[in-house]
């Protein structure tokens, strides 16, 4: 029994370090919050925890929703919903500067970006209300459009048209809500191969694991209010809450008191 109490004390006592005001704890249950992210992007066989440190935020004129980020966080694409018939795409650099934006026929349901940030695709739909009086009833999606842009904002593909852009866009994604989207140059060199879907993704981590972009806040139909761009600060130990320290101290004190009562 004595050995058991000693083992409990040794298990509960965490190793705590402080790094620029950020508290990390080891050997304590992990509880994730809005300020802590669990990231498996860099190594699928290893779980990493990082403190999110906001670098900038951007509030577009219409509600932000689906979002994407380039491999190293240099570029961010944000799709928005203005109303049931309109939306926009915004292309920002990693300082939060809007490099270009486009008003689209339909609100944006999904956004994708090539790893190098050279291409952006956006899917839009419109919602038509067939005389229903209650929000959300007697409605259906209509007029789906796939847009593909280069990183200067030029449309290189749009459903129902064929812009003369010097690129060739192919794949099953052109005729359905999901599938493969391939972009070639005029010499038939493959520039981007993308598996497309109508997925409303409101947070994304750059492939190098250094940055996260997310849509926060609540607005109609599940869209947000503001876009946050976060730096991810990793530690070799598990991040925890600052208020976990007094809880841990109270737990350790209680175990020591029980040990003394039992074995004095």
Whole-number Å distance between alpha carbons of 66 and 55: 20
Q: Flag whether 192 is in a domain.
A: yes
Query: Encoding tokens for residue 47?
Result: 């779980």
Q: Flag whether 109 is in a domain.
A: yes
| Cβ atoms of residues 98 and 65 within 8 Å | no
Q: Flag whether 169 is in a domain.
A: yes
Q: Give pTM, 2 decimals.
A: 0.72
Give me the pLDDT at residue 129, please.
Answer: 67
Strand duo 155-158 + 167-170: pairing = unpaired
Q: Flag whether 41 is in a domain.
A: no
Give me the pLDDT at residue 264, please.
Answer: 59
Q: Which residues of the chain register pLDDT less than 70?
A: 1-48, 129-140, 162, 236-251, 255, 257-264
Query: Encoding tokens for residue 11?
Result: 């298990």
How many of the other CB atoms lie within 10 Å of CB of 223? 22
Query: Encoding tokens for residue 109?
Result: 């349901």
Q: Flag whether 147 is in a domain.
A: yes
Q: Flag whether 244 is in a domain.
A: no
Taking alpha carbons only, the member of 77, 83, 145 closest to residue 117 is 77
Domain that holds residue 147: 17-25+56-238
Q: Flag whether 73 is in a domain.
A: yes
The SS3 call for residue 115 is: coil
Give me the pLDDT at residue 36, please.
Answer: 56
Query: Encoding tokens for residue 190?
Result: 């493959």
Q: Flag whether 184 is in a domain.
A: yes
Q: What Rg value do the Cα atoms of the chain yield, rounded? A: 24
The SS3 call for residue 222 is: helix
Whole-number Å distance between alpha carbons of 118 and 148: 11
The CA-based angle 177-193-98, given to 5 degrees, is 80
Give me the pLDDT at residue 101, please.
Answer: 97
Q: How many domains does the chain have?
A: 1
| Cβ atoms of residues 151 and 144 within 8 Å | no
Whole-number Å distance between alpha carbons of 2 and 5: 5
Give me the pLDDT at residue 121, please.
Answer: 94
The total number of residues shown for the chain amounts to 264
């Amino acid at each position: 029994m004595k050995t058991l109490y000693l083992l409990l004390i040794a298990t509960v006592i965490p190793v705590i370090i402080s790094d620029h005001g950020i508290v990390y704890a080891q050997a304590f249950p992990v509880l994730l919050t809005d300020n802590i992210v669990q990231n498996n992007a860099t190594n699928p066989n290893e779980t990493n925890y990082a403190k999110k440190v906001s670098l900038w935020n951007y509030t577009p004129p219409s509600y932000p929703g689906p979002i994407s980020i380039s491999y190293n966080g240099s570029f961010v694409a944000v799709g928005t919903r203005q109303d049931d018939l309109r939306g926009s795409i915004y292309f920002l650099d990693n300082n939060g500067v809007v490099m270009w934006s486009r008003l689209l026929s339909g609100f944006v349901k999904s956004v994708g970006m090539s790893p190098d940030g050279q291409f952006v695709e956006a899917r839009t739909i419109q919602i038509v209300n067939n005389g229903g009086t209650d929000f959300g009833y007697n409605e259906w999606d209509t007029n789906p459009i796939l847009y593909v842009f280069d990183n200067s904002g030029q449309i290189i593909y749009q459903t129902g048209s064929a812009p003369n852009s010097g690129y060739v866009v192919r794949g099953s994604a052109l005729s359905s809500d999901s599938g493969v989207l391939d972009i070639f140059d005029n010499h038939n060199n493959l520039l981007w191969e993308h598996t497309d879907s109508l997925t409303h993704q409101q947070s994304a981590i750059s492939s190098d694991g250094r940055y996260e972009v997310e849509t926060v806040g609540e607005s109609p139909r599940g869209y947000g209010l503001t876009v946050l761009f976060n730096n991810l600060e990793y530690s070799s130990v598990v991040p925890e809450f600052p208020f976990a320290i007094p809880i841990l101290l109270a737990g350790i004190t209680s175990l020591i008191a029980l040990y003394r009562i039992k074995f004095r």
